[in-house]
Amino acid sequence: MALVDYGGSSSSASEDEESAENTQAPTLSILKRPALPTAAALLGPKKQKPDEFEDDVIDDPSLHGGRIRSFKHERGNWATYVYVPADACSDQLEEFQAEAISHLALELELQANDSLHLSLSRTVVLQYHQIDEFSRSLQQALNSSTGFAASLQGLRIYTNEERTRTFIAAPLDAAFVEKMTAILQPIDQVMLDYRLQQFYVPASFHVSLLWCVGDQEKLLNSKLKELQELLEDQDTLSLAVNEVHLKCGNKDFTYLLK
């Protein structure tokens, strides 16, 4: 918008007067304020969001087997946990999963855990900017930790804290609990340093195999002997504790043990 409104010359004005006005008064084009720069010119093009934040996540339990989040999903929150993979016995555990699902199909709808691992932390929340520093802290904390060969023994029934899901799990053989606790301690210290929840007390090391919606602890405990017989058909369930993993959303970090 122009700052000064200039009308046309009067019909009685002489050519000399018009000439004088043209040389003494600024023209309209000179008095116009230059257009203000756009935000894009000042700040540059709008930065693309990281892929992880492209879309808001809607917590719809029907999309993931009826599971309910233990904490509200918010943009920038990364579900995080520390674990040991159960790769050494994954084939045996997967065979048991299929047999157990079939065995209890008429009484209960069981789901197989896709990721077979032994947890060494609760599931906690990190912000995006914390991930790399947290990973470095964990790497440093585990530098002196020693790996070992272990095994899983038996079955046990668990529920989550909200009792919205029930799990069938294979516990760590009691002979290896002390060694696993030695690996857990520095992890717990990192959690404490970041003001996050430490692992459960007392610690119960296990690999979750199957789960179902709701509190089905009583029913599954009544079926535990039958399930145990299915598992006994498998050979020794070896667990190679030679690396620890950190899972943050879709990122996975690996720390090799001595």
Q: Dump pLDDT digits (tens) for 23-63.
A: 344 444 444 455 555 544 544 454 444 444 444 444 444 44
Token digits of residue 119:
């947890």
Using alpha carbons only, what angle is made at residue 249 by residues 214 and 201, rounded to the nearest 5 degrees? 55
Query: Looking at the annotation, which residues are catalytic?
Result: 117, 206
Contact 246, 186 (CB under 8 A): no
Q: Which residue has the tokens 């000399």?
A: 16
51 token code pair: 């892929």
Reported as a single tens digit per residue, the pLDDT across 148-202 is 999 999 999 999 989 999 999 999 999 999 999 999 999 999 999 999 999 999 9
**Residue 86 structure tokens:** 């159960």
Q: Residue ranges per domain, the chain? A: 76-256
| C-alpha distance from residue 107 to each of 63, 100, 101, 184, 211 (Å) | 23, 11, 10, 37, 14
Give 3's Cβ-side CA count (13 Å radius).
9
**Is 223 strand, coil or helix?**
coil
Q: Note the pLDDT tens digit of each residue in 2-21.
A: 333 333 333 333 334 333 34
- Tell the CATH superfamily of the 76-256 domain: Cyclic phosphodiesterase (3.90.1140.10)
